[in-house]
Amino acid sequence: MIDRYALPELSEMFSERRKLELWLRIELLAVEALHAAGVVPTADWKRIRATATEVDPVRAREIEQESQHDIIAFLRSVTERLGAEGRWLHYGLTSSDVLDTATAVVLRDATGVVEAELGRLVGVVRRLAIEHRHTPMVGRSHGIHAEPITFGFKVAGWYAELLRDAERLVRAREGIAVGSISGAVGTHANVSGALERHVLDGLGLTPDAAPTQVVSRDRHAELLTTLAILGGTLERIAVEIRHLQRTEVSEAFEPFGSGQQGSSAMPHKRNPILAERVTGMARLLRGDALIGLENMALWHERDISHSSAERFVFERALGVAAYATRTLGDIIDGLEVDADRMRDNLEQLGGMVYSEALLLAMIAKGADRQAAYRLVQGAAKRAWSGEVSFGAALRADPAVGEWLSSEEIERAMSLEHHLAGIEVTYRALVLDGAQEPRIADAPLG
C-alpha cells in the first residue's frame, strides 16, 4: 500500500515483523502441543521456549537469497540459535500450514479494521438520513427530473445498502478466519487433529474441514469479492455526491478546507476530489476481486501460482477498502447540503414532476390510460416550449377539464402527497432518531 493512502494500523498488520512473529508463534504452538502429547522432551521444549523468542529479519532475508524459500529461511534463522532441540520445529508441518494460518490471522484482523470504518460510516449516514427526512428535492431517473423525494430518503437507500455490506463483511471475516495444520497434502498423516486444534485455538481460528495442502481459495475470493461489492456501494454514493455538486445542480458539496485549492489554473474551482478518489479506489477493488477468483483453481492439492499475487492483493484490497470507507465517512460527516437549492430545482419544471399523479387521477375518474397520458404529455410539451406554464396548460385544456377540476389538479400536484409514502422506508429501516443499532442488529432493508 502506498504511503499516501496507508492506514498505520493496517500497515503494521501486514508488516514483515508481524508476519515473522506469527510464523514463530505457530511453530511454538505446534511444539507445545507435541510436548503435551509426550513427543517432545520437556528439556527440549524449555530450551526452545527460552531461546526462540524472536526472529532476526535481516538474517532470514540473507538465508532466503540462497534458499529461495521464505519458510526454510525463517526456520534456519531460528534453529541456528538452537541445538539439537531445533529439530522439533516444523515437525510434521508443511510450509502452507504456516503461511495460510498466519495469513488467516492477518486477514481476520485487517477485515476488522474495515468493519470498524464501515460501522462509523453507517452511523454518519444514518444521522444524515434522519436529519434530512423532510428535506424535499427532485428525484431523477436517466439524469432527468422525475418525481419529488426527500434528500433523507435518498440517503436512507445508502444506509440500507451499507447495512447489507456490513452483513456480508461479517460473513467474509468469519469465512477467512480458518487455518490448517494438516501436513503436506492435508491428510493429517504426520500431524494430529489435536495438535491442529491446539495451534488454531491459540490463534482464535477454526480448522478447515477439508484442506488440501492449502486452505481452499474460495474463502479468500469471498473476502475480495465482498470488498469489491462494498467498493461498489461506496462508489455509488460518491458518484451521487459528485453529481449533486455539479455547478448546474449545486445541491450538496463535500467538505472544502479554508486553505484548500481546487485547481492550479482556476482559483474559483471547488472540485469533489474526495468523492472522485473513492470512485477510483472502487475500480481497484473490482480488479482485486478478479485476482481472488483467478486464484481459486490451483493444481491438484496445491501449486503456488496464487502466491505472488497474494503478496500484493490482500494488503492492497483491505487497505483500499479501509481508506475509501474512512474517506467517504469524512465526506458524509462534513457534507454541506443546500436545502434551498434542492427546493428550487424541484420547482424548476413548474409542476411537471407531478405528471404521474395527474395521469392516475384521470384514470381513477374513468379516463382511458393512453388518452389521459397524451393529455398530460401534451400539457408538458406546451410548457417545455415556453408558451404556457404546465398548470395553466392543464387548466386551459377542455379535454383535461372533462376529468379533473382545477381543485383536483391542484390536489394531484401536492408535494405532501408525494412525500408521505417515504415513511414506509423509514419505518422499515427504523430510522426514527432512536439510538443507533449495532450493525449486527440493524435491519437489512
C-alpha closest to that of 121 among 170, 168, 161: 161
Q: How far apart are CA 320 and CA 359, in angstroms?
A: 48
Average pLDDT in the chain: 93
> Could you tell me the sign of the dihedral formed by the alpha carbons of 145, 151, 156, 158, in that order?
positive
SS3 301: coil
| Residues 6 or more apart in contact with residue 157 via CB below 8 angstroms | 425
Q: What was the pLDDT predicted at 435?
A: 47
Q: Is 142 a catalytic residue?
A: yes
List domains and CATH numbers for the chain: 11-88 (1.10.275.10), 95-189+196-345 (1.20.200.10), 352-412 (1.10.40.30)
Q: Write down the residue that cell numbers 445541491 correspond to.
A: 251
pLDDT for res 372: 97
Q: Which residue has the cell 539439537?
A: 84
Q: Give the position of cell 499475487.
A: 309
Q: Residue 315 is placed in which grid cell?
A: 494488503
Judge whether 417 and 360 are in contact, CB under 8 Å.
no
- The single residue of 35, 220, 258, 263 carrying the catalytic annotation is 263
Cα of first residue to Cα of last residue in the chain, in angstroms, is 34
What pairing do the DSSP bridges indicate for beta strands 252-253 and 144-150? unpaired
Contact predicate 166/439, CB 8 Å = yes
Q: Which one from 141, 142, 300, 308 is the annotated catalytic residue?
A: 142
pLDDT value for 52: 95
Pairing outcome for strands 336-337 and 206-207: unpaired
Q: Look up residue 163 and give its three cell numbers.
A: 447495512
Instruction: Report the distance separating Cα 152 and Cα 342, nearest Å.
Output: 12
309 Cβ contact partners less than 8 Å away, ≥ 6 residues apart: 291, 294, 295
Closest CA to 332 of 45, 172, 27, 128: 128
**Which residues of the chain fall short of a pLDDT of 70?**
263, 433-445
Residue-wise pLDDT for 185-236, tens only, equals 999 999 999 999 999 999 999 999 999 988 999 999 999 999 999 999 999 9
* Model pLDDT, residue 432: 75
Q: Is 196 exposed, middle or buried (0-12, 13-18, 19+ CB in 10 A)?
A: buried
Q: Quote the pLDDT of residue 433.
A: 57
- Is residue 326 within 8 A of residue 7, CB to CB? The reply is yes
Of 99, 82, 83, nearest to 22 (Cα)?
Answer: 99
d(CA 355, CA 380): 8
d(CA 267, CA 251): 21
Q: Is the dihedral of CA 317, 322, 327, 331 positive or negative?
A: positive
3-state secondary structure of 206: strand
In this structure, are residues 205 and 241 in contact, taking their beta carbons and an 8 Å threshold?
no
The reply to whether 305 belongs to the active site is no
